[in-house]
Structure 1
Amino acid sequence: MNIQSENSSYGIIDISPEVIEVIANIAVTETKGVKGLLNNFASGNLEKIGKKYRGRGVKVDTREDSLKLSIYVTLDTDNNVHKVAESIQKNVSHAIRTMLDAKVDEVNVHIVNIVK
C-alpha cells in the first residue's frame, strides 16, 4: 500500500501489508468481548519453525488503492455478538486511520466461534 501526503514532496511511503495486519491484530485483541483470533495457515507454519507471527486472524487486501480487511475471531459468550463485531470494525478502522493516515474501505468481521 502506498501512502503519499499531499503536502510532501519527499516521495511515497510504502507500507507493507504485514504492518497493517499487526496494527489490526492489536486493535482487535484490545476489543472487549474478543477471546482470540483464528490461526490461519501462514501463521501456523511460521510459528512451527519458531517465528512469532503477529498478523494471525487478519487478512489484508490492498488492490487498486483500496484497503479491505477480513478479521477472523472467537468471541466470549457473555457479550452481544453484533455490538462486539461493530466495536472490532470501529477499533480497527480508527487504529489504521490514526497510525497510518490511511482510509479503510471495509472491515469484514468473521465470527468463527463463540466460547465460554
Structure 2
Amino acid sequence: MSENHLIHMSEDKSDLGKVEISPEVIEIIAGIAASELDGVAMLRGNFASGVAERLGRKSSHGKGVKVDLGDDGVNIEVFLITNYGVSIPDVCHKVQENIVQTLKNMTAINVLSVDVHVVGVHFEDKNESEAPKKEQGI
C-alpha cells in the first residue's frame, strides 16, 4: 500500500499519465450508491465523522461509509438505518450490489467486500402520517 493513501489505477499502455483516486472519493460514491435505494432511511456515521462534518472537513455524502485499502482491492463498511417495514436482508443485499456495480462502473476498482451494518430502524413520524389525512379532509 502506498504511503500517501491513494489508490493507483492500473497502468495502461498510454503515456498520458497516471490516475489516483482518494479513499474519500470512494466513500462518497459508495455513500450515494447506498442512500439512493428504497428502504434506506439514512447513513449513520460515528461521533468523529459527525464532528468532522460540522467543521467542514468531510462531506456528508461519505458519512456512514468506511473504506479500507488493501493490496488486492478495497473493503467497504456501510452503517445505515433502514425504514420500518422493509425486508432488511433484501435491502442490505441491494445495497451491496449497488455499491459494487457503481464503483466498478465509475472507477474499475476491485471491491473485495461490502459489509452492511444496520444500526437502526426509522419509524414514520406521527406528523408525516397525519399530514395527508388533513389535506384530504379526513
TM-score by length of 1: 0.90
Which residue, 13, 20, 25 being the options, matches 1:19? Answer: 25
Please state if 1:47 is matched with 2:47.
no
Q: Percent identity?
A: 35
Q: Could you tell me how far apart the structure 1 residues matched to 2:51 and 2:105 are? A: 31
User: Looking at both structures, which has the greater relative contact order when contacts are Cα pairs under 8 Å and sequence separation is at least 6?
Assistant: 1
Moved over 6 A (4+): none
Q: How many residues align?
A: 116
User: Matched residues in 1 for 2:72 and 2:47: separation?
Assistant: 26
**Equivalent in the alignment of 2:16:** 10
Q: Map Cα deviations across residues 65-94 of structure 1 (whole Å, 9 max, x no partner).
A: 321100000001111010000000001001
Give structure 1 stretches of 5+ with no counterpart: none
Q: Distance in 2 between matches of 1:69 and 1:115?
A: 23
Matched, 1:36 2:62: no
| TM-score, length-scaled by structure 2 | 0.77
Q: CA deviation at 1:115?
A: 2.1
